[in-house]
Amino acid sequence: MSRLDSFIRRLTAQRDILNHVEADLDIPAGGPVMEIGLGNGRTFNHLRELFPDRRIVAFDRAMGAHASSVPDDKDLVIGEIAETAQAYLGVDASLVHADIGTGYPEKDAVTLTWLPQLVAGMLTRGGVAVSGLPLEHKTLNPLPVPSSVPTDRYFLYRKI
């Protein structure tokens, strides 16, 4: 599969799962949404459309978002996520989305030494995690993804 095809599949899977969360899954009321890996801000922009009444906190090592998709200063956390996000453990998030896979297995393996605990620690009970990397954690229960999403392309969990 070409990298273009793989990119399109990743973004389609991401959008389809986020839409599914909004339409079909009850996520806990009131809690914030965490966007781990702001990037260009396309997903942040989509999350704002899906969850207009939620606070959305976005993390990245640098601000590279399109001008239309920049979080408020108070909701933008710049720096290495493994460090900056520690301050958000226990924030009782309703939804965490993480899109920080690189396509380099050795780099992703390092990310996976800290990402599952971080996501689990941010979520409230019953909260939902959506991730481009698989998250193995005893409190993150895998949920089925929409049929449009290829197996193991993008992942969905609920915190128990």
Ligand X SMILES: C[S@@+](CC[C@H](N)C(=O)[O-])C[C@H]1O[C@@H](n2cnc3c(N)ncnc32)[C@H](O)[C@@H]1O
What is the C-alpha to C-alpha distance for residues 119 and 94, in angstroms, rounded to an integer?
A: 11
Among residues 54 and 99, whose Cβ is nearest to ligand X? 99
Written as six digits, the tokens of 138 are: 């005893």
Among residues 10 and 55, whose Cβ is nearest to ligand X? 10
Which segment (26-34, 36-44, 47-55, 139-147) binds ligand X by CB under 6 A?
36-44
Of 13, 31, 54, 60, the one binding ligand X by CB under 6 A: 60
94 binds ligand X (CB under 6 A): no
156 binds ligand X (CB under 6 A): no
Q: What CA–CA distances, in Å, run from 63 to 72, 103, 104?
A: 12, 21, 22
Among residues 31 and 132, whose Cβ is nearest to ligand X? 132
Count the residues of the shown chain that bind ligand X, applying the rule CB under 6 A: 14
Closest approach of ligand X to the CB of residue 37, in Å: 3
Among residues 50 and 126, whose Cβ is nearest to ligand X? 50
Q: Which residues bind to ligand X, rule: CB under 6 A?
A: 37, 39-43, 60-61, 64, 80-82, 99-100
